Amino acid sequence: MNFHVLTLFPEMVAAGLSESIIGRAAAKGIIGINAVNIRDFTDDKHKKTDDYIYGGGAGLLMQAQPVYAAHKSVLEKIGGGKVRTVYLTPQGKTFHQGMAEEFAKEEDLIFLCGHYEGIDERVLERVVTDYVSLGDFVLTGGELAAMVMIDAIARLVPDVLHNDSSVVEETFSGYLLEYPQYTRPEVWMGERVPDALLSGNHKKIREWRQQKAEERTRLNRPDLYAAYEKLIQCRRELLRDKLHHMDMAELIFREKAELLYHDSEGTLLRDRMSGCFMFTAKSREAGGRILDAFLPSGKEMPELWAVHQDFLGEEMARRLNMTVFLCVRQAVYTRREAPPLKAQDIRQLSAEHAEVVRHHYAMEDEDYIRDRIAHGAMYGIFVENELAGFIGEHAEGGMGMLTVLPAYRRRGLAAALESFLIHKTLQKGYTPFCQVEEENEASLKLQEKLGLYIAREKVWWYKKSY
């Protein structure tokens, strides 16, 4: 991922992002930091980039021309296309973790840093897609704010952080504040490190950390704690019908869920990563009520919904002008041991495989395939060094896209690929599941053979119709 920063102080940005984790990631080429000096783009022979404000007022304003030219130069360098351009300003939307997750999905991001009294409105209107603030205070310029955002976004880019945060245990720590941590010496100013942490007993350590994280959150952020408790309760209820609702329960377990609505009559979740909505309700009336609560006029609705009852689908079609494009049954692997793994040449795929994957898997577009590959979520099976088949994890968490190329069928490669991904998923502490189209008999048979249980009820995928 590349961060382009348009600024009058490029050295400040380059220096601020050249150290520690972000600096190392940039040095290794995992992320790119491109500080662009707006002054290099002014037409003014004295290299001036600012001027007095029409109508009066204290101070100077950055002029449109150099900002526009600097922005254009970045677009040309990237090769055009739509690139989100963030203007740092106290007038923007307040930055938060969900926004960082959203921005981390982009390949390129441009940050525009104002100085003095700001920037001529006309160029902002032309280039800016997102106005973002760090909070209700005023900085002398946007550079520090851009650096804060880059730090928060870059640490979400795969491989920037080394510690394997994918090893998730049943703690839901992602919804809580961090537990306290200690390093050597064991006793400092008479205070000992808590016994549990010195015990070497992993279960005990995990429980201690969970308890402290909960305590801290309850005391310092009762709002977060209330949301956390509701999510835990919601997951428990979803798991009463786990085959039908494993997608939603896993979204919560994998710490990606935003709970939009939950009561005994229904649940509406948003996947914070993919933006898709997942919806279940006991009755058509309850579903209608929940939809009404989430349909205030003008509010942007997500493109994709996974709907767990047919009557809800009918409501969606009627109210939201959405159409069903896929009807699936969920298959869930409920054991903790993976099916036997055969020695096979299975490797994580890289960008060079995107085209061939897309060629053999027409259900998704190439951008989606590229995104999955970039997240390290696609695996290929190779026979004599040739790609013979592939499987991936969908953005919402299910296994899918399982394909064996025609020349390699009937050799057990599909089973090998899925067993491999089941194994990987279990290693992370997650429950493997997939969604199979009802008419795909071969896949349903494979699921049963591998020991997955298939839900009786279906899930319908809806998208906006234009």
Please report, as ranges, the residues that interact with ligand ADE according to CB under 6 A: 88-90, 133-135, 137-139, 142, 145
Burial class from Cβ neighbours inside 10 Å (0-12, 13-18, 19+) for residue 140 reads exposed
**What single-letter amino acid sits at 218?**
R
Residue 2 burial by Cβ neighbours in a 10 Å radius (0-12, 13-18, 19+): middle
Helices and strands, counts by H and E, the chain: 16, 20
Compare residues 127 and 251 and give the one whose CB is closer to ligand ADE.
Answer: 127
Shortest Cβ distance from residue 149 to ligand ADE (Å)? 9
| Alpha carbon 41 to its chain's center | 35
Neighbours of 218 (CB within 10 A): 16
CA 23 to chain centre: 23
Q: Which residues contact 258 (CB under 8 A, 6 or more apart)?
A: 98, 269, 270, 271, 272
The two three-digit tokens of residue 292, written as one number:
């009404």
Q: Shortest gap between Cβ of 161 and ligand ADE (angstroms)?
A: 25
Give the nearer residue to ligand ADE in terms of CB position, either 1 or 139.
Answer: 139
In whole angstroms, what is the distance from residue 277 CA to residue 201 CA?
Answer: 39
Nearest 5°: the CA angle 443, 446, 449 is 155
Answer for the pair 350, 379: CB distance below 8 angstroms, yes or no.
no
Least distance to ligand ADE, CB of residue 251, Å:
31
Q: How far is the CB of 7 from ligand ADE (least distance, A)?
A: 12
CA distance 213 to 200: 19
The per-residue b/e assignment along 60-71, b for 16 or more CB within 10 angstroms, e otherwise, is: bbbbbebbbebb
Least separation, in Å, of the C-beta of 59 and ligand ADE? 13
Report in angstroms the alpha-carbon separations of 80 from 3, 77, 124, 177, 420: 15, 8, 18, 40, 39
Q: Given the complex with ligand ADE, which of 114 and 392 has the nearer CB atom? A: 114
As a whole number of angstroms, the distance between CA 332 and CA 329 comes to 10
| Secondary-structure percent of the chain, ordered helix, strand, coil, rounded to 5 | 40, 25, 35
Nearer to ligand ADE, 89 or 309 (CB): 89
Task: Provide, rounded to whole angstroms, the least separation between the CB of residue 427 and ligand ADE.
Answer: 40
- Whose Cβ is closer to ligand ADE: residue 90's or residue 288's? 90
Q: Which is nearer to ligand ADE, 17 or 134 (CB)?
A: 134
CB of 17 to ligand ADE, least distance (A): 16
Which is nearer to ligand ADE, 57 or 158 (by Cβ)? Answer: 57
Least distance (Å) from ligand ADE to the CB of residue 353? 40
Residue 157 C-beta: closest distance to ligand ADE, Å: 22
Nearer to ligand ADE, 57 or 135 (CB): 135
Q: Give me the torsion for CA of 102, 158, 78, 119, rounded to 10°.
A: 40
Rounded Cα–Cα distance for residues 399 and 432 (Å): 7
Beta strand pairing call for 453-464 and 50-52 = unpaired
In the complex with ligand ADE, the residue whose CB is nearer, 88 or 251, is: 88
State the minimum distance, in angstroms, from the CB of residue 131 to ligand ADE. 9
Nearer of residues 140 and 385 to ligand ADE, judged by Cβ: 140
Of residues 113 and 278, the one with the C-beta less far from ligand ADE: 113
User: Rounded to 5 degrees, what angle do the CA atoms 89, 91, 97 make?
Assistant: 70
Distance CA 3, CA 16 (A): 13
Q: What residues contact residue 348 under an 8 Å CB cut-off, 6+ apart?
A: 376, 378, 379
Per DSSP, 241 falls in state G
- Both tokens of 8, joined, read 């009058």
In the bound state with ligand ADE, the residue whose beta carbon lies nearer, of 133 and 443, is 133
Tell me the closest approach of the beta carbon of residue 98 to ligand ADE, in angstroms: 17
Residues facing residue 387 across a β-bridge: 382
Q: How far is the CB of 92 from ligand ADE (least distance, A)?
A: 7
